[in-house]
A = this chain, B = another copy of it.
Amino acid sequence: MTAPIEFWFDVISPYAWFAARRIEALAARHGRTVRWRPMLLGVSVMKVMGLRPLMDTPLKGDYVARDLQRTARREGLVLQRDLRAAPMSPLPAARAIAWLDAQARAQAGPVARAVMDGYWLEGAAMDDAARLRPVLAGAGLAPAQIEAALAPEPGSALLRESVAAGLAAGVFGSPTVLIDGEPFWGHDRLDEAERWLATGGW
């Protein structure tokens, strides 16, 4: 019985969204399941690493905007958000996903996918209870579970624990895939992560 692979992501990260669309099938091809783990770029990149947000970094912001549109075109997707606009708050969704990871783990992935699909494909700010309730219901959660997942606590505490666990494991970017502790950072490293799964590493 092998351990799940860990998929670390910030719900506002577009590269995490691209990877989220592929990760379950990738894991399944190698007999693995996926544990969906929320992190916050605002903590790892801005506080710990001392960097600016990607889109505010000269040159890199322009490249990333172009690259995201190019990646979306290749995948047949149309991004409905202005990449230069301020992002939604990731906190309500990330707290709910941290709660699901603790209490209803099978639903964490479907909820994360639905949040990110709504954000990128519909341009919706998935950052309040009114938006998140139907997502949680759609994933099959009971009303009491939905309210527990959306309550400030224990979601906030669980999210802080998740972010700390990510930092302790060296997770700084979104997405990061951990395979038995081995980190692969970036949507563009999924093929390499899959090669690691297929070969057992090198």
Which residues on A are within 8 Å of B, measured CB to CB? 44, 48-52, 57-60, 62-63, 66-67, 70, 73-74, 167, 170, 172-173, 183, 185-186, 188-189, 191-192, 202
Contact = CB atoms under 8 A, between A and B. Distances in A.
Contacts of A57: 49-51
Contacts of A49: 57-60
Contacts of A51: 51, 57
A202 B70 contact: yes
A180 to B, nearest CB: 14
Contact of A188 (B60, B167, B186): B186
Contacts of A170: 59, 62-63
B50 A172 contact: no
Contacts of A202: 70, 73-74
27 contacts: A48-B58, A48-B59, A49-B58, A49-B60, A50-B52, A50-B57, A51-B51, A51-B57, A59-B167, A59-B172, A60-B172, A60-B173, A62-B170, A63-B170, A63-B172, A63-B183, A63-B185, A66-B183, A67-B185, A70-B202, A73-B202, A74-B202, A186-B188, A188-B188, A188-B189, A188-B192, A191-B191
